[in-house]
Amino acid sequence: MRVMLVEEEIVAGIWHVSEELAKSNDPENNMKAVALVWCLEALGLDKPEENKRALSAGARNRTQDQNSQIHNNRRKEKMQVYSTIAEAMIRRWVDGNFRTGSVKIYMNGRSAKVVDKNGDSLYLVYDPEQREVNVYDPEEI
């Protein structure tokens, strides 16, 4: 087995690229973002935290099992199964534009209502011909 060290700045840069690709309305860019994240996760390169402090070797050894368990749980959460392509694309759009758990999604066929903690909402509609998610203000509908 070959072990390579990767600088945190490089890993952070790759995570940043994946986030930017995920924000795109282009499905191809969204798929590139997913592929990058899968590769990073497969290599065990979690997203670096901004204020991460260095741990001693002893502390790293004690927390290694906990970290691998947390990593596995996060992977399972991300590997959701969707019932339709529209649902997958809408949820991917929401994940790229909102913090996890900050909004509720109410799916209805190719459309969804997204509601935040303030009760504000917007509507998303998946366009299968253009393969993109369109955003509508509730007042427009």
**Residues 91-122: b if buried by 16+ CB within 10 A, e if exposed:** bbbbbbeeeeeebeeebeebbbbbeeeeeeeb
This prediction has a pTM of: 0.45
Q: Does the pLDDT value for residue 11 go beyond 70?
A: yes
Residue with tokens 């534009």: 97
pLDDT at position 138: 75
pLDDT at position 52: 46
Q: What angle do CA 123, 129, 135 make, to 5 degrees?
A: 20
Query: Average model confidence (pLDDT) for the chain?
Result: 77
17-95-28-47 Cα dihedral, nearest 10 degrees: 30
DSSP 84: S
Residue type, 74: R
- CA pair distance 110, 128, nearest whole angstrom: 9
Residues for the chain: how many in total? 141
pLDDT at position 116: 93
What integer is the mean pLDDT of 110-122?
Answer: 94
Residue type, 110: R
How do the domains of the chain map onto residue ranges?
Answer: 8-78, 85-90+99-140
Residue with tokens 């994946």: 18
For residue range 15-49, list pLDDT tens digits in order: 888 888 888 787 788 888 888 888 777 777 777 66
DSSP 117: T
Q: What angle do CA 12, 34, 75 make, to 5 degrees?
A: 80
- CA pair distance 30, 96, nearest whole angstrom: 9
For residue range 71-103, list pLDDT tens digits in order: 565 665 555 677 899 999 999 999 999 988 899
